[in-house]
Amino acid sequence: MSSNVQHGRRRAQPARRKSAVRQLWEAAPKPGTTGQRVAAVAAAGVLLVGMGVSDKAPHSPSTEQTGQAQASAISVPKDVAMSFTRTEVKSSSAGTPSAPSVGSSSSSVKSLGANGGEIDDPTGAQAYAATQLASFGWGQDQMACLVPLWNRESDWTTTAENPSSLAYGIAQSLPAEKMDSVGSDWKTNYQTQVKWGLGYIKDRYSSPCGAWAHETSIGWY
C-alpha cells in the first residue's frame, strides 16, 4: 500500500439544519419575479406563526406558566378572614408626621378632697354643715350664726391656715392635729372639719350662736 494513502475514515459532519424560512424560500415556486416569491414566502410564514410552528428547539415553560404552577401549589383555607387596614399619616409642613394635639389648661384641673368634691368648696361645706345641725340638737336657725362665725375664721376654706398660730381648716383648729379624732383625712375633707368644728362648739359654747357671741365680743372663740 502506497505511503501516500491516509489510513482511517473522516468523521462525517452533521448537516446544518435549515430554518423554516429557508425551507419556504427554496420550496417557493421558481417562475415569476423575485417579489412574487418573497410574497409567497411571507404568506407561508404568517401561517406558520399562527400555527405555532418554529424552527427553534422546544422552549422551556414561560415565566407566566411557571408562576401559575407555583400559585396553584399554594392552598389557603377558605374560612380564613383576611383584612387590610390602611393607616393614614398626615405630615406637617416640615415633612414630619404631626403629633395629635392635646389641649390642657391648668385652670381645668381641680384638686379633689376625700369627700369627692373640691378641697376648697365653701358652698359645699356650708350645705353639709346645715345637714349636721340636727345631729347636735340644733335647729336651722343656728346657721345664721355659724355662717358669719366661720366666714371670719376661714371663709369656709378647707386649707385655710393661720401663718402665726398655725390654726388650720374651716373651724381653725389649734393645733390642727386635733381634727384627727374625727378622721385622718382632716387636711382635705371639709366634712371631717365641719364635724369636728360643730363638736368643739357644742362642748365650749353650747351652740353656734353662743360661739358667735363670744367671737364678736372677744375676737376669737
- 38-63: average pLDDT: 49
- 38-51: average pLDDT: 51
- 3-class DSSP state for residue 113? coil
CA angle 127, 189, 193 (to 5 degrees): 70
d(CA 151, CA 173): 14
d(CA 49, CA 47): 5
Ordered DSSP codes for 165-192: T--BTTTTBSSGGGGGGT-TTTTT-HHH
> What is the structure's pLDDT at 118?
86
- Judged against a pLDDT cut of 80, whether residue 127 lies above it is answered with yes
- 158-171: average pLDDT: 97
Query: Residue for cell digits 400555527?
Result: 51
The closest alpha carbon to 129, from 162, 159, 171, belongs to 171
d(CA 150, CA 154): 6
> What is the structure's pLDDT at 34?
53
Helices (H) and strands (E) in the chain, counts: 7, 0
- Judged against a pLDDT cut of 50, whether residue 29 lies above it is answered with yes
> What is the structure's pLDDT at 74?
47
- 148-171: average pLDDT: 97
- Judged against a pLDDT cut of 50, whether residue 221 lies above it is answered with yes
Question: What secondary structure, in 3-state letters, does 25-91 show?
Answer: HHHCCCCCCHHHHHHHHHHHHHHHHHCCCCCCCCCCCCHHHHHHHHHHCCCCCCCCCCCCCCCCCCE
- pLDDT, tens digit, for every residue of 182-219? 999 999 999 999 999 999 999 999 999 999 999 999 99
Q: What would the grid cell of residue 155 be?
A: 371663709
> What is the structure's pLDDT at 188?
97
> What is the structure's pLDDT at 23?
60
Range with lowest mean pLDDT among 31-40, 61-70, 98-107, 130-139: 98-107
Domain ranges of the chain: 20-50, 122-218
The confidence band for 50, taking pLDDT boundaries of 50, 70 and 90, is: low
Q: What would the grid cell of residue 186 be?
A: 382632716
Range with lowest mean pLDDT among 98-102, 133-137, 147-151: 98-102
- Judged against a pLDDT cut of 70, whether residue 92 lies above it is answered with no
> What is the structure's pLDDT at 117?
73
